[in-house]
Structure formats: C-alpha cells, structure tokens
C-alpha cells in the first residue's frame, strides 16, 4: 500500500478528490437557514466595517463567534459576492482537516496510512457535504484535528512549536464555535493521559507560554463583545451553549448519529466492522508489548468523546459529529495500509460487501425518498427528476467496484472505493440540484431590486417560516443594503436566529394575524409594496387585499413575488410620467 499510494496514480487520485471539493461549489443557491444567515452576516460585516459585532438584518448575531464571518467577509472582499465564494472558506477548511489528519496518520502508522487518510476523508459523503457548505463544522473539525495532532507530536518530541501549535489551533476552534472547540480536545487529552498514566510526558514549564498564546488569540474578541454588548457572556455561554446542548433547539433522539455516521462515512463505513475487530486486537497486543503512547487508544478516545458528547446532548444537528470523522479515517487507513495478503480477513470482508454496496445504498435512498413522500416532505415532481443522476452514479460506483474485484481485492479495491465515494456524492449533488433549482430565491430578489424604487416598501412575509434568510443576502448583494427590507412578523432581539423557534401555539397565530394587519396597512399607505412570500401564503394574502391592488410578478414552486399598490401609482403610471426613471437606474 505504501508504494501504491505514493505512485503518480495516487497523486492524480488526490487531485481528483480536491477538484471534487471545489467542483460546482456555487451550483445551487445558499440554503436556508444557516448558509443564508452566515452569508448575510458576513456581507453586512464587510459593508459596515464592524468586524467585532456580527449583524443579521441589522440585529446583533452573537450566538456564534466571528471566525466564520471574518473568513467569509475577507473572501467576499477578495473575490466578490458569489455563492461559491461564500462556501470557499469551508472547502479550504475541509482540505486543511484532511491534510492535517494525513500528517498525523503518517506519524502514527507510516506513509501508507498518511497517503490514504486524505483520500478517505475527501471521498466520504458527509465530510464532502459539510466541507462544501457555509457552516462552522468544517472549520471546527479542522482545528480540533490540528489541536490533537499537535498534542500527539508534542508527546513524541516535546518541542516548543507543538505546544504553540496546539494553543493556536485551540484558540481558532474557540473562535469558531465557542467552548466546545477547546473542551472536546482537552477532554480527549485528559482521558488519554489518565488511562495511560503518562502525565510525565507533558512539559509543564511550557504550558504557561502556551496558555498566553491561547488567550492572546481568543480572549480579545470575547472581551470586546462584552464591552460592546453588555450581557454577552451570559447569553453566549449559558443561553447559546448550555441551553442549546440541553435541547433548546433541534431535539433529536440519542441514536440519531448512528445512521448519520454509517451513511455519512460511506463508502468507508463498510470497513468499520473489521476495523473495529482488528484495532481491538492490535490495541491489546500493543498494550502488552510496549509502554509507548498507544495511538489506537488515542484515536478511539477521540472518536468516542466527540460521538458520545453530541449524542447525549438534546440539541443536535447532523453536522455536529464531523470532528470524529478524522479519527475513524486514520483507523480505517491503518487497516488498508497493513493489508499484505489478499486473504486477510479485512480484505475478504471488504471484497464481499463491495459487491453489493451500490445496490444496498440505492435501496436506502429509495426507502428514504418513499418515507419523505409518506410524510409529505416533497412532492413526486420534485423527487423524480433527481433519480437519473443518482442511479447513474450508483451504477458507475458498482462498475468500478466490479472491475477492481476482478483485478484483486487490495490495491485496486482501495482506488475503486475512493472513486465510488466520489461518484455517489456527485450523483447526490446533481440529484439535489434539480429540485432546488425550482425554488430559487435569487431571481425573485433580483426582480424585486430591479423594479422597486427607493421610496417603495420591501416586505418579506414569512408567517412562521424561516426559509428566507438567503433573501437578505441576495437582495443586499443587488442593492448594497437590506435596511429597507421589512419582515412580517418582525424580527426581535430575542429572535436572534430569525426563525421564532421559541414562539408556538396561540402566540404564533397572533403574530400571523398581526402580520396580515400590518401588510394591509402598508398596502393602504399610498406607496408601492413588493412582498416576497411562500406560495402557500398567497391565497391568504390575496384574500385580504383589494384585487385591483394585487399583482403576481413571478413565482416558482415554493416562493412568489407580488406587488401591492394603488392603481394610480402602479409601475405603468410611473413609467408614463417619467419613462427614463427606471432605465437610468438600471
């Protein structure tokens, strides 16, 4: 495996994986709510020049530290306001995490594992998906991997640079997602040192300088945020961390990360059964034969701490467990690198399951689609167009596996597994791209910006929905500001996410009624109102308006743009009085 992965072909395979990370990065619009919020907060940061307090729709957004906004705003300034630029920072973080994990694997198990790890990560479905999304988890995964790698190298060599590197990585993780960025690697380290009784390997004299480096990087922003926004410490550390972990948002069952891990690590999750057995045997042998630091124990603690911590929390999102993927990737790479004979148990297992993996995955996807249909998540007209690219990708994955199995179960099978992961991800990407193109927000925001004047009223009518976060970014990108965009029901300071997840029942119905009343008053103000609304709200809005005041400008399967105005002040009337007004502005 060492010679095979260091060949020119393996380099070409690595380049292919990197190309896939950047391929069609702006292929579909920023998804709501997270990508829209991060992009708009970064755009407003760049526009206002306030690099301390992020804002979304002119409301302070201090639920997350600012590193993702700093990176995205800097990329916007360099390359412009585009969807692919918004996701570029996460893509670079994903590659950084893969490279760092590969270097750590090389120091633990040799060059073979070091070459294999980046290929494993960059061909895993969920790692690719998160690395191509504007979310914090790819950054957090990369910095946690860098911190734990620096700790491991520091235990082996004890050099100053490793202690400093750990401090820098931990500080960046803190600026990415708060205390969890420091707490998780520290918990792994404490458990490892306690179990192995190797506290004497720590150079305690260097911890003081390392702590100063950590504080000098991470502390200034937290102090500045507290000064600018009194009460920030309580809201951030208690409300947005402890209460979120306790289930304030996104409550899922404790077992939810098991299917996420199995599907997200595909196609490498097929290696997990034999990897677990072989690693357990190697751990026992190494524990008896050597007193050196046990890398297998370290990696299992890394995986278990991250997986168990997020599983026990009531507030969950599928992307939270991404930081445990590097540990599993190293363990899987170790098994591939140590396969010397085609008769090895792991090789036999992998060759058998590889024959059926494409059919199994197709069955899983079809079952998921049927369940979504039964729960009325998506209509068939949105699902069916995406099936051809998905089926084609699974066929290609099965074809490369069949060719590899005819040539031998070891080296060609590794290459075929990488390619199958790439094919399946691209199939999923284009399968999702088709229905998403039918509900785009950007064309509606561009139409709103093109037809409206500075004295017109722009409204985002959402009801209880949170699906228009990206509207702020697309409209602001076109107009240069979104401060004249009104949201009905109105955003409040408490509603920092813009989704009113704390407001349900009678209060939500009351807010809906207040939104309708407010929209009626805007329609009677004598100014033209442009209203962006979900399609399922059109009938309700139209019923409250004079039909002569209401006109539908553009719609897709999910959203619509309507104009509400007095006929005497309609766009036609404005053009008659001043035919060059709009043309000059455009």
Taking only the tens place, the pLDDT of each residue in 324-355 is: 999 999 998 888 877 643 445 555 555 566 55
Per-residue confidence (pLDDT) for residue 584, from 0 to 100: 33
The dihedral sign for the CA sequence 264, 266, 272, 273? positive
pLDDT in tens, 446-462: 899 888 887 888 988 87
Q: Is 422 left (phi over 0), alpha (psi -120 to 50) or beta?
A: alpha
Contact (CB, 8 A) for 322 and 328: no
Model confidence band, residue 541 (pLDDT cutoffs 50, 70, 90): confident
Percent of the chain with pLDDT over 90: 31
Evaluate if residue 388 carries a pLDDT over 70: yes
Helices (H) and strands (E) in the chain, counts: 28, 7
What number of residues does the chain have?
Answer: 586
pLDDT in tens, 194-238: 988 888 777 777 788 888 999 999 999 999 999 998 888 888 888
What are the sequence ranges of the domains in the chain? 2-30+62-339, 346-439, 442-585
What are the helix (H) ranges across 110-136? 111-121, 125-131
Q: What is the pTM of this model?
A: 0.88
User: Closest by alpha carbon to 310, among 431, 208, 187?
Assistant: 187
Nearest-angstrom CA–CA distance, 410 and 423: 20
Per-residue confidence (pLDDT) for residue 340, from 0 to 100: 47
392 burial level (CB within 10 Å; 0-12, 13-18, 19+): middle
Evaluate if residue 505 carries a pLDDT over 70: no
pLDDT in tens, 412-422: 778 888 888 89
């Amino acid at each position: 495996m060492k010679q095979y992965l260091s060949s020119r072909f393996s380099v070409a395979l690595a380049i292919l994986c990197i190309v896939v990370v950047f391929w069609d990065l702006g292929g579909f619009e920023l998804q709501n709510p997270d990508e829209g919020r991060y992009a708009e907060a970064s755009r407003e940061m760049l526009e206002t020049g306030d690099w301390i307090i992020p804002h979304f729709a002119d409301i302070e957004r201090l639920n997350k530290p600012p590193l993702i906004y700093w990176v995205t705003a800097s990329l916007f300034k360099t390359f412009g306001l585009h969807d692919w630029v918004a996701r570029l920072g996460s893509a670079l973080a994903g590659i950084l995490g893969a490279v760092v994990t590969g270097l750590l694997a090389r120091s633990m198990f040799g060059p073979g594992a070091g070459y294999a790890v980046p290929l494993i990560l960059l061909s895993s479905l969920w790692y690719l998906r998160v690395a191509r999304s504007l979310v914090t988890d790819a950054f957090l995964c990369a910095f946690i991997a860098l911190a734990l790698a620096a700790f491991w190298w520091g235990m082996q060599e004890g050099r100053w640079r490793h202690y400093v590197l750990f401090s820098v990585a931990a500080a960046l993780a803190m600026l990415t997602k708060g205390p969890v960025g420091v707490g998780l690697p520290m918990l792994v380290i404490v458990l490892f040192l306690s179990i192995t009784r190797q506290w004497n390997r720590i150079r305690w004299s260097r911890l003081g300088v390392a702590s100063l480096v950590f504080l000098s990087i991470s502390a200034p922003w937290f102090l500045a945020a507290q000064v600018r926004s009194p009460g920030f410490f309580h809201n951030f550390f208690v409300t947005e961390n402890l209460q979120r972990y306790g289930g304030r948002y996104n409550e899922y069952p404790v077992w939810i990360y098991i299917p996420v891990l199995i599907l997200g690590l595909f196609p490498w999750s097929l290696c997990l059964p034999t990897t677990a057995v072989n690693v357990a045997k190697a751990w026992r042998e190494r524990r008896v034969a050597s007193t050196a630091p046990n890398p297998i124990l370290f990696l299992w603690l890394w995986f278990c701490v991250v997986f168990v911590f997020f599983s026990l929390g009531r507030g969950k999102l599928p992307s939270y467990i991404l930081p445990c993927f590097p540990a599993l990737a190293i363990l899987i790479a170790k098994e591939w690198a140590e396969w010397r004979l085609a008769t090895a148990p792991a090789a036999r297992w992998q060759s058998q399951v590889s024959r059926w993996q494409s059919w199994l995955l197709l069955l899983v996807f079809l079952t998921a689609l049927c369940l979504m249909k039964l729960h009325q998540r998506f209509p068939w007209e949105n699902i069916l167009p995406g099936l051809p690219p998905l089926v084609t990708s699974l066929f290609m994955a099965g074809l490369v596996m069949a060719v590899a199995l005819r040539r031998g179960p070891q080296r060609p099978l590794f290459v075929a597994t990488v390619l199958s992961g790439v094919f399946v991800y691209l199939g999923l990407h284009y399968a999702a791209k088709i229905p998403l193109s039918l509900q785009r927000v950007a064309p509606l925001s561009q139409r709103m910006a093109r037809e409206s004047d500075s004295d017109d009223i722009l409204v985002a009518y959402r009801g209880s929905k949170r699906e228009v976060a990206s509207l702020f970014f697309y409209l602001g990108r076109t107009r240069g500001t979104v401060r004249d965009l009104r949201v009905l029901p109105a955003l409040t300071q408490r509603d920092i996410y813009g989704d009113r997840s704390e407001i349900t029942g009678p209060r939500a119905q009351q807010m809906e009624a207040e939104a309708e009343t407010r929209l009626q008053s805007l329609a009677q103000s004598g100014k033209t109102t442009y209203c962006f609304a979900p399609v399922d709200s059109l009938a309700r809005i139209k019923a409250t308006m004079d039909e002569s005041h209401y006109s539908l400008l553009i719609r897709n399967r999910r959203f619509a743009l309507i104009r509400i105005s007095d006929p005497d002040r309609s766009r036609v009337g404005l053009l008659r009085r001043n035919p060059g007004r709009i043309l000059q502005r455009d």
